[in-house]
Amino acid sequence: MTKFLVTTDFSAHSRRGIRFAFQFALQTQAEITLFHVLDLFDPDLAFDSATATPQLRWTKAIQLKTDQLKKFLHAVFPKGIPDVPYNVVCNKLERTLAQTIINYTKTHNFSMVFCSENGASLFKKVLGSLPETLLNNCPVPLCIVPKQYTTSPLNSLCYTTDMQHIDDEMHWIENWRNLLNIPLKVLYFDYEINLQEHQKTLHQVATTYENKDVQFHYIKLIPQSTFKTLLQETLKVVDPSLVIVFRKQNRSIVNRMLFPGKTISLIMENNLPLLVVRKEME
């Protein structure tokens, strides 16, 4: 079964990430592990050092936080937890929060990691050292849920492409789109869209993949308007349930979308969950 790792720090913001992850899992028949990283400096976990060995202290702390995590999940879904297989896990901090999440993801074969903007201690800043580490090193796709997200069924996907490795990327997206059973809109931004030779290539790509559920939209970049402005305007029109980007180190449309962090902030302001996939994984 497909497995999702959903991070939480018990914050109000992380509740939105949990709700989105459960909705995603419900529509894809996936299993969820709700994950909290435990730091013994947590003031809630103070134990008498004279009567508890370090290992016993960890054991008691993990049990306490696990019980709290179960109660927290019921508080997130007061009308009942969705019909999704799940378990809750509290794990000891391993050097850093990001490294703990990455290591657990690798050793337990998760397909995707979910976190919340300003939640799960992952996005205290839109682009700080921790989220940057996850974006660079998370071995699976990373889904970021905005702090103002309102839970609703996923009804459409949006994929921004730089047209490099389009076949591999479309194959990956189509697998998830078919599981979700929702339409997809593909966005491509370029200054040279109107060139005849370029139009021919773009038409061939669209002809290959378009059907009643998949549509390509080619948007011309113009000097009078920034990429961020065009992106924001386009996303408002498309109004997807989830935006998918494939990230790589080389400068591209995807990198312009992700860096600097202001563009992530732009997507978060539109209350759109963002799924970041590393191109190296293809």
Average pLDDT over residues 247-263: 49
Average pLDDT over residues 95-102: 88
* pLDDT, position 231: 81
- Of 16, 35, 27, the C-alpha closest to 102 is 35
Cβ count near 148 (within 10 Å): 12
Bond before 260 cis per omega within 30 degrees: yes
Percent pLDDT > 90 in the chain is 46
* pLDDT, position 265: 57
pTM over 0.75: yes
Q: Domains, the chain, ranges and CATH?
A: 3-145 (3.40.50.620), 157-281 (3.40.50.620)
Chain segment 198-242, per-residue pLDDT in tens: 888 898 999 999 999 999 999 888 877 777 778 888 888 999 999
Consecutive H or E run containing 64: helix 54-76
- Of 8, 31, 28, the C-alpha closest to 18 is 8
- At residue 252, does pLDDT exceed 50? no
196 phi and psi angles, rounded to 5 deg: -60, -45
Higher pLDDT, 112 or 281: 112
User: Confidence class of residue 51 from pLDDT cuts 50, 70 and 90?
Assistant: low
In total, the chain counts a number of residues equal to 282
The 3-state DSSP class for residue 278 equals: strand
Higher pLDDT, 255 or 57: 57
Percent pLDDT > 70 in the chain is 79
* Rounded-to-integer distance, Cα 21 and Cα 35, Å: 12
* Rounded-to-integer distance, Cα 15 and Cα 145, Å: 10
Least confident piece of the model among 25-34, 47-56, 250-259: 250-259
User: Confidence class of residue 190 from pLDDT cuts 50, 70 and 90?
Assistant: confident
Consecutive H or E run containing 102: helix 97-107
- At residue 59, does pLDDT exceed 90? no
Chain segment 23-44, per-residue pLDDT in tens: 999 999 999 999 999 876 766 6
* pLDDT, position 222: 82
Average pLDDT over the chain reads: 83
Higher pLDDT, 136 or 100: 100
* pLDDT, position 127: 38
* Rounded-to-integer distance, Cα 122 and Cα 274, Å: 14
The 3-state DSSP class for residue 100 equals: helix
